[in-house]
Structure 1
């Protein structure tokens, strides 16, 4: 009887604890951060260097990164046997960010780059900040806060070239650095 009581107490204790993110989920998140950081950062740099392209780099980067990410995550999810509560929360957050990043460049003709670029920084910062809270990684929290500060700063610079440079810096702070941290965490 003592063994059954001990087992029941351990089972209820384990049931109340959420399953931590698996190394495979961390690796998937790392790939996602690195993919989107490269796409957004490169698009921002190309747009800053050649402003006559009028948003074409963002259309290509968002479409390319979105299709690549969808195919990668579909394949990775198909093979993944164990899922954690944290991993699922970050996956849904990732999906919401993809939708937002796809919609924001379409709003440029109506709102202009001066409004859309800071909104992109706020979206990237929020995604990274919340994921950092879910995964309990301070680097992601600080990366998200850095993107918020760069987004607030972007409102002060009306020139789209200046904002593109801030967006590239925000992509590095909110996506590339956290992606590298997640990659390292998945290998531990």
Structure 2
């Protein structure tokens, strides 16, 4: 009877270890968090102040942030020589979140803000929480959890303006603060 061979970490070559996230990938993630946090937070505040816009601020913010992010990431991708496993995982998570942020506001006429806003907060929180686990950054994990708390609170509030303010607070906790922390990490 044969037993399977076991390998110690010392026997593994450098090619077997995944590449840690590069400073350029970290800077790209920081810019992405700051861009989306600003767009979603501003759209939420504008919608809370001017509810007669009926989601126009979200459509404009998501379209503008989406185009800016696409152009920025396309440009960065062309110039990036090295890609890490962590960076690729976070990139795919970022793409999935972009799709959710683009689709959810379009569902408002059918589902209403009372349903869509908690879903937006949950999507932002999940993205930040998972990215925090991948990148091993506690600030991102706590920011994602804070967005989940805001999503739960948004389910309890009947007024759309109150929900919009929770969305703005969630954008600050789940996107702007983690973006600022990642930006500071790239400069350290």
- TM (normalized to structure 1)? 0.93
Structure-2 residue corresponding to 1:18 = 18
Q: What is the CA-CA distance between 1:11 and the residue it aligns to?
A: 7.4
Q: Which runs of 5+ in 1 are unaligned?
A: 1-8
Residues 62-77 of structure 1: pairs in structure 2 closer than 5 A: 62-77=62-77
How far, CA to CA, are the matches of 1:138 and 1:121 in structure 2? 19
Root mean square deviation, CA, Å: 1.1
Indicate the SS of the match to 2:170: helix
Structure-2 residue corresponding to 1:54 = 54
Structure-2 residue corresponding to 1:167 = 167
Deviations 1:34-78 (A, max 9, x none): 000000000000000000000000000000000000000000010
Determine if the alignment matches structure 1 residue 151 to structure 2 residue 151.
yes
Q: Which runs of 5+ in 2 are unaligned?
A: 1-8
Runs of 4+ in structure 1 off by over 6 angstroms are: none
Structure-1 residue corresponding to 2:40 = 40
| Distance of aligned partners of 1:78 and 1:16 in 2 relative to their CA distance in 1, 3 Å threshold | same
Determine if the alignment matches structure 1 residue 110 to structure 2 residue 110.
yes
Structure-2 residue corresponding to 1:6 = none
| Distance of aligned partners of 1:81 and 1:11 in 2 relative to their CA distance in 1, 3 Å threshold | farther
